Amino acid sequence: MRIVFAASECVPYSKTGGLADVVGALPPALAFLGHKVTVYVPRYRMTRIENPETAIASITVPFDDRYRFCSVLDGHVQNGVQFYFVDYPPYFDREALYGTPLGDYHDNAERFALFCRAVLEATKILGAPEIFHCHDWQTALIPILLKTLYDEDPAFAQTRCVFTIHNLGYQGLFPPEVLPLLMLPWDLFSMDKLEFYGKVNFLKGAIDAADYLTTVSRKYAQEIQTTEYGFGLEGVLRARTANLVGILNGVDYTEWNPATDKMIAANYSADDISGKAVCKRDLLKEFGLAPDTQLPVLGIVSRFAGQKGFDLIQYVADRMATEDLIVIALGTGDREYEDLFRRLAKQYPQKFAVKIEFNNRLAHKIEAGADLFLMPSKYEPAGLNQLYSLKYGTVPIVRATGGLDDTIEHYDPATGKGTGFKFREYSGEALLTTIQSALLAYRDTQKWRRLMHNGMEQGYSWSVAAREYVKVYERAKQGRLTPIVPV
């Protein structure tokens, strides 16, 4: 099958979160199954391309004030996948991908509309696919355009669109005036299309227009159809339930494997775990803490956002400081939570350490050097860090939601079964009690070893997920009008 991925980030060229990991790993897994896969991403300031060549010198993108002209760079074939970069420096040669700590860039609608139009036009020259696989609101205009302005384009007569929701919390909401600015028809501004409480909602439009929808875990696919997790789109999603399926993200074990990881102080595996103690000392040193402690280390690598359960951590942080544990956190995000961790590190310098930065090397060091990993998310579409933690023998403490619920089995000391610690109620007390039971279990060294092993033996390979996606592509090719039994 000829498949084109369009996404706003992709490892190793750009990353703010799990989307980049998925777009970096799923295409090679599909290529390995014999499919012809092409990936389009914007060229940001952070994007490093080896020997870029111009694939298309100029693509005209109409806006109502004036035309914009972008180009497409050939990033060559990597791991069996062809990469192209949409280059338009006024929009993408910026400090960050979507905005600064002060807020989103004011012209995000224009930026990603230009990207979507450029991808459609570029594929008409470089090869129209059987399947467009689009991701999150930034590429939502592709299914919308295919069903509207481009619906009579012969280049796309056989093309179907699969749309993956990586996080329903980000919908691409803009004032109605963006429609004429982007030269989109006004009749899209209706309740059954893009209109959402007086605004334009790109994600809503894609949910309606895509031939098939996926999200990144089975549980999240169910949750987003409920009022609690649906962010107001639960009704729209329920209307598409026959064409909505959850496929759990895999892990790129060429990058996240303690046996081969080059970023950590010592390699180790389930058979010989001795290197993990070296990694722990190295981590403690890296964060300016005494390296020879007997206390368990609880790691956090996260966007500092409400979604990730930081309000719960905030609520119990001072009580956590009285427990026998050390907390090491890495992340950036909301000012409130950055300040919280700065305060904790100052007030309890032997118990809390933090680095406010985005640093992949440190993320690896935390996965390897910590004993426990904390993800108390309010909602979590898939979650990758808990999967990395399992592989690194770092026992996850998670809230039972979305992908966290699908992937972590609560540990039962009586049977020795399970892979981590899980709580359901979204409260600080539930979080603290769960941390305390993990600390209690940690004292039994032998049982703890078994618990680590249980996790290290788990495998979430992309080849399994890729096969599931191929089934979805096949179904999408049959067209959305056929009633489809969810896979």
Task: Reply yes or no: is the peptide bond before residue 12 cis, omega within 30 of 0.
Answer: yes
- Spatial distance between the Cα atoms of 11 and 164, rounded to a whole number of angstroms: 17
Site pattern 241..260 for ligand ADP (x: CB under 6 A)? --------------------
- Binding segment for ligand ADP (CB under 6 A), chosen from 200-208, 236-244, 298-306, 313-321, is 298-306
Among 79, 148, 269, 359, binds ligand ADP (CB under 6 A): 359
Pairing of strands 53-62, 36-42: unpaired
Residue 113 CB coordination number (10 Å): 28
**H-run or E-run covering 229:** none
Smallest distance from the beta carbon of 385 to ligand ADP, in angstroms? 5
Burial pattern 246-258, b for ≥16 Cβ within 10 A else e, equals: bbbbbbbbebbeb
Locus of tokens 């199954």 = 33
- Least distance between ligand ADP and beta carbon 355 (Å): 8
CA distance 470 to 360: 30
Number of residue whose CB is nearest ligand ADP: 18
Instruction: Say if CB 403 and CB 380 are below 8 A apart.
Output: yes
Query: Of 253, 149, 257, which is closest to residue 209 (Cα–Cα)?
Result: 149
Q: Are strands 2-6 and 36-42 parallel, antiparallel or unpaired?
A: parallel
Position among 82, 385, 394, 434 found at the interface with ligand ADP (CB under 6 A): 385
Range 314-333, binding ligand ADP (CB under 6 A): 330-332
Question: Can residue 148 be called a binding residue for ligand ADP (CB under 6 A)?
Answer: no
Quote the CA–CA distance of 105 and 102 in Å, as a whole number: 9
Q: Which is nearer to ligand ADP, 129 or 420 (CB)?
A: 420
Closest distance between ligand ADP and the C-beta of residue 19, in Å? 6
Q: Residue 358 interacts with ligand ADP (CB under 6 A)? A: yes
Q: How far is CA 151 from the centre of its chain?
A: 30
Q: Which is nearer to ligand ADP, 303 or 450 (CB)?
A: 303
Least Å from the CB of residue 362 to ligand ADP = 6
The minimum distance between CB 339 and ligand ADP, in angstroms, equals: 16
124 touches ligand ADP (CB under 6 A) = no
By CB under 6 A, name the one of 17, 52, 230, 306 that touches ligand ADP: 17
- Residue 298, classed as helix, strand or coil, is strand
> In terms of CB distance, is 78 or 307 closer to ligand ADP?
307
- Kindly state the smallest distance separating residue 375's Cβ from ligand ADP, in Å: 8
Select from 97, 264, 301, 316 the one that contacts ligand ADP (CB under 6 A): 301
- Select the residue interacting with ligand ADP from 86, 384, 395, 408 (CB under 6 A): 384
Residue 302 as a binder of ligand ADP (CB under 6 A): the answer is yes
Using CB under 6 A as the binding criterion, the count of chain residues that bind ligand ADP stands at 18
- What angle, 0 to 180 degrees and rounded to 10, lies between the N-to-C axes of helices 445-456 and 428-442? 110
- CA dihedral of 128, 8, 215, 225, whole degrees rounded to 10: -110
- Count of Cβ atoms closer than 10 Å to residue 333 Cβ: 18
Tokens of 347: 């007030």
| 4, 6, 7, 18: residue in contact with ligand ADP (rule CB under 6 A) | 18
CB contact at 8 A, 354 and 330: yes
Query: Minimum CB separation from ligand ADP for residue 394, in Å?
Result: 12
CB 182 within 8 A of CB 110: yes
Q: How far is CA 195 from CA 188, 192, 198, 204, 426, in A?
A: 7, 7, 6, 8, 32
In the complex, what is the shortest distance from the CB of residue 330 to ligand ADP, in angstroms, rounded to a whole number? 5
Shortest spacing between CB 305 and ligand ADP, in angstroms:
8
Angle between the 462-477 and 18-32 helix axes, to the nearest 10 degrees?
80
Query: Per-residue contact track with ligand ADP, 20 to 59, x per CB under 6 A?
Result: -x--------------------------------------
Among the listed residues 382, 390, 408, 438, the single contact to ligand ADP using CB under 6 A: 382
Residue (147 or 391) nearer to ligand ADP, CB: 391
At its nearest, how many Å lie between ligand ADP and the CB of residue 376?
13
Please compute, for residue 442, the number of CA atoms within 13 A of its CA located in the half-sphere on the CB side.
24
Q: Point out which span in 283-291, 318-326, 344-352, 382-390 binds ligand ADP (CB under 6 A).
A: 382-390
Find the shortest distance in angstroms from Cβ 120 to ligand ADP: 26
Residues that bind ligand ADP (CB under 6 A): 17-18, 21, 167, 301-303, 330-332, 358-360, 363, 382-385
